[in-house]
Amino acid sequence: MLAIAKITSKGQTTIPQDVRTALHMAPGDLIAWEVGDDGTATVRRVQPMDIEYLRAVEGTLSEWSGPVDEEAYRDL
């Protein structure tokens, strides 16, 4: 599915109806943005419990993100 939306001068956008339907989104839902090194972005609906988990582990993941680790796990 391809959906295009415009960004306002305030950095806001509307999530197209087809996308909201596909992701089972409703007003008040939370979304998480993940930006890859290649410039791609992934957006997903998250539950409040997911937010707490993500915040808890966010700082612990950096120890596995060095060049040696990237090389070791590249083919997984």
pLDDT in tens, 10-64: 999 999 999 999 988 999 898 889 999 999 998 888 877 767 777 777 777 766 6
Q: Give the whole-angstrom CA distance, residue 25 versus residue 17.
A: 9
Q: Identify the residue with better confidence: 66 or 33.
A: 33
Of 37, 33, 35, nearest to 46 by C-alpha is 33
Q: Identify the residue with better confidence: 30 or 67.
A: 30
